[in-house]
Amino acid sequence: MPNAVTSAEIEKAIRNVPDFPKAGIQFKDITPVLADARLFAGTIDLLTQNFEPGMVDAVVGIDARGFIFAAAAAKQLQAGFVPVRKKGKLPFKTYEEDYALEYGHATVAMHVDALKPGARVLLIDDLLATGGTAAAATLLVKRLGAQILEIGFVIELKFLNGRDRLKGVPVRSLVSY
């Protein structure tokens, strides 16, 4: 692909914001990537590069930054888009999964009819940290009887070993720290 975007270019554009939203967190801000037309398109090309239209039935995106990448990837792959949302946001009947956070817990939800049994799914989020969120989303997709072909992240914080919680599914990330 002529002039294809590289992971190094994406990494250069990601802004590190120390101590947000609380002391000790190095927040990876992807808004400069989104605001750059070439980088945004190139990020979607990289996230979808293992697939062609017709190979994926739905791209599942995780609330909220995952939606941005997953929706664009769904358009690119001519697939549907399905949201995994934080509890209490989806209007219809849902399945829910609880998972542990550093302090306390969180719950993600999916509509009970969001995916057909056997649907081929690409799961996308912006960042893999401890893997709790993606593991909970994986359980929801499996509960609907769908199959995950791959889980894609723009960023992976390797030192948190999130991949260990996503065993059995191919995991890809574009930029790692």
List interacting residues with ligand AMP (CB under 6 A): 25-28, 62, 65, 125-134, 162
What number of CA atoms fall less than 13 Å from residue 105's CA on the CB side? 9
CB of 56 to ligand AMP, least distance (A): 21
How many CB atoms are closer than 10 A to CB 32?
A: 14
- Which of the residues 15, 38, 52, 102 is marked catalytic? 102
Task: Please identify, using beta-carbon distances, which residue of 55 and 87 lies nearer to ligand AMP.
Answer: 87
CB of 130 to ligand AMP, least distance (A): 3
Q: Which residues in the chain belong to E strands, given as ranges?
A: 15-18, 26-29, 58-62, 80-86, 94-100, 105-111, 120-128, 147-156, 171-176
- Which of the residues 65, 85, 120, 165 is marked catalytic? 65
How many CB atoms are closer than 10 A to CB 125?
A: 26
Nearest Cα residue to 48 out of 78, 27, 25? 78
CB of 97 to ligand AMP, least distance (A): 12
Instruction: Confirm whether 102 is a catalytic residue.
Output: yes
Instruction: Confirm whether 97 is a catalytic residue.
Output: no
Task: Please identify, using beta-carbon distances, which residue of 118 and 170 lies nearer to ligand AMP.
Answer: 170
Catalytic positions are 65, 102
